[in-house]
Amino acid sequence: MNAEIISVGTEILLGQILNTNTKLLSERLAGLGIDVYYHTTVGDNMKRLQEAFKLASARSDFVITTGGLGPTGDDLTKEALAEFLRLPLEISDDEVARIKQFFTGRGLEWVESNTKQAAFLPASRILANAIGTAPGMAYKHADCAYIVLPGPPREMQVMFDNHAIPWIKENVIEPGTVPLFSHVLKFIGISESKLEHTLKDLFETQTTPTLALLAGKGEIHLRLTARAKDEGSFRTLIKPVLAEIKSRTGDFIFAEGPKTLTETIAEALLQNNMTLSTAESCTGGMLSASLTSIPGSSAYYLGSVIAYSNEIKTNLLGVPSGLIQAHGAVSEEVASSMARGVRILTGSTIGIGITGIAGPGGGDPEKPVGLVYIAIDSGEGTTTISHNFRGNRENIRERSVKAAQHLLERYLREPR
C-alpha cells in the first residue's frame, strides 16, 4: 500500500505557516504499514486541486488531504474532490445541527456559509471533529481511498487518531500488511561525514534494517528502519546491527528514541543529585530557557544571570574588572569566572558560563563574529571550550546553546 498526502492552502506555499501535518501523518501511516511516496502542497485553487487529485489517484492507493474545509469561498477541498470524482455533495442535517450548536454554545453568530462544512460525498464516512467546526470525510472509490481532514494541526491529529485510523484499518489496509518501525540513535560531538565514514561498511551492505543519517542543529540522528510484525520482533531484528553501531560510536551517542539532549541532561542531573545554574552573555537566556522547558526542572535548575554588560558580570557574578580589562569580556578567563561566579551565587553543584560575539557587528580579526567561550565549573575544577561558529546571529546563539549542552552532557557522563 502506498499513500500520498496533499496539503491544501496558499498560506503554506507562501511560507506563512509551518506544515507539521505531513510529519505526523507520515509517521502514523508508517506505523500502519502504509508507505508514503509523495507529499504534495497545492493552493486554494479549484483547477490545481483537481489536477492534484488526478495525479495522486493515478499513482497512489490512498490519498489524504489536510486543509480547505472551512466555510469561506476559498475552502475548496471537498468541492474539488467531488468534481474530480463526478459525484455530488450532500448536506447532512445532523452535521448542520452540530455545527450550529458549536457556534451558539460559544456565543458566536451563525452564518449560513457555515452550512458548506456539512456537505459530504454520498455514502462517505463522516469523521467527527471534536474540537472545531469542520468534520472530515472518508470515502473509497474504485481503486483509491480518500480521507479529507481539517488543516489546524490539533483538529487534524485528534480526528485522524480517533476516527480515520479505525476506518483505514477496516477499509484500506490489505491482509498481510506489515508495519514499518524505526529506531533513532542521537549523536553529538561528531560530524555527519565522520559518522558515515565510521559506519561505511554498514551503509554499503545494508539490507534489513536500512540506515539513514539526518543532520540537525548541532547533532546527528541515525535512523534504523525495518518492517516487522510487532515491536518485539523489530527489536530482535535490529539488535545485531544496533550493537555493532554502538561498539563503534558509543562515545558520541547521547540518546535513543524520542529523548532530546535536554531531557538526557535532566535525567543525568537528577540521577547524580546535582543542581545547575547558568550565566549567559551572548545567548541572552536561551540556555536557561531550554533547560527549563521540561516540567519539574526546578528540581535541578536553580537560576540564571543574563550578564550582558561588564558591570553585571562584575557586580553580580564577581568577575574581576581587571580580568575583563586584561583579556576582554569574550575570553576563556571571563567565561570561567562567570561559571564559577554563578555557581557560588546560587549554591548550585555546577555552573555554566557563556560569553561570545553573536554579531552581526562587534568582531575584529583577533576576535571574529562567531567566537564563543563556554565554561563549566564544579568547584573542583573548570573546563572551558571555544568555538568559532558561522552563520547569522540567531544561528550562532542556537549553536552556542547546543555546544553548552554538549559540554554539560559529557561532564555528567563521566564516572564519579
Q: What are phi and psi of 339, to 5 degrees?
A: -60, -45
Alpha helices for 60-191 (secondary structure H): 77-85, 93-105, 153-159, 165-171
Q: What residue has cell string 572551558? A: 384
- Say yes or no to pLDDT of 175 above 90: no
Across the range 369-386, mean pLDDT stands at: 97
Write the single-letter amino acid at 411. Y
Q: How confident is the model at residue 20 (pLDDT cuts 50, 70, 90)?
A: very high
Largest alpha-carbon pair distance within the chain? Answer: 81
Structure confidence at residue 217 (pLDDT):
80
Structure confidence at residue 415 (pLDDT):
81
Structure confidence at residue 1 (pLDDT):
85
The overall pTM is greater than 0.85 = no
Across the range 245-253, mean pLDDT stands at: 96
- Say yes or no to pLDDT of 264 above 90: yes
Structure confidence at residue 288 (pLDDT):
98
In a 3-state reduction of DSSP, which class is residue 46? helix
Q: How far apart are the first and last CA of the chain?
A: 52
Structure confidence at residue 137 (pLDDT):
98
Stated as kind and residue range, the H or E segment containing 117 is none
Structure confidence at residue 240 (pLDDT):
97
CATH of domain 2-171: 3.40.980.10
Which CATH code of 3.40.50.300, 3.90.950.20, 3.40.50.2300, 3.30.360.10 fits the domain covering 261-413?
3.90.950.20
Q: How confident is the model at residue 176 (pLDDT cuts 50, 70, 90)?
A: confident
Across the range 199-208, mean pLDDT stands at: 95
Peptide bond just before 135 cis, omega within 30 deg:
no
- Say yes or no to pLDDT of 256 above 90: yes
Structure confidence at residue 64 (pLDDT):
98
CATH architecture of the domain with residue range 180-256: 2-Layer Sandwich (3.30)
What is the DSSP track for 71-90?
A: SSTT--HHHHHHHHHT---E
Stated as kind and residue range, the H or E segment containing 264 is helix 261-271
Average pLDDT score over the chain: 95
Q: What one-character DSSP code corresponds to residue 383?
A: E
Across the range 158-179, mean pLDDT stands at: 93
d(CA 339, CA 404): 12
- Say yes or no to pLDDT of 216 above 90: no
Residues 211 and 66 sit within 8 Å (Cβ to Cβ): no
**Nearest-CA neighbor of 253 among 182, 183, 188, 184?**
188
Structure confidence at residue 255 (pLDDT):
95
Write the single-letter amino acid at 45. N
- Say yes or no to pLDDT of 218 above 90: no
Q: What percent of the chain has pLDDT over 90?
A: 93
Across the range 51-57, mean pLDDT stands at: 98
Structure confidence at residue 116 (pLDDT):
95
d(CA 383, CA 387): 14
Q: Are strands 35-42 and 136-141 parallel, antiparallel or unpaired?
A: unpaired
Q: For the ranges 173-182, 234-243, 367-376, 406-415, which has the lowest average pLDDT?
A: 173-182
Instruction: Give the residue, 201 or 416, on which the prediction is more confident.
Output: 201
- Say yes or no to pLDDT of 142 above 90: no
Distance from CA of residue 278 to its chain's centroid? 25
Q: How confident is the model at residue 52 (pLDDT cuts 50, 70, 90)?
A: very high
Structure confidence at residue 197 (pLDDT):
97
Structure confidence at residue 167 (pLDDT):
97
Q: What residue has cell string 486543509? A: 67
- Say yes or no to pLDDT of 14 above 80: yes
Across the range 228-249, mean pLDDT stands at: 96
Q: What is the pLDDT of residues 55-87, one digit of tens each?
A: 999 999 999 999 999 999 999 999 999 999 999
Q: What is the pLDDT of residues 327-363, one digit of tens each?
A: 999 999 999 999 999 999 999 999 999 999 999 999 9
In sequence order, what are the beta bridge partners of 182?
225
Across the range 18-39, mean pLDDT stands at: 94
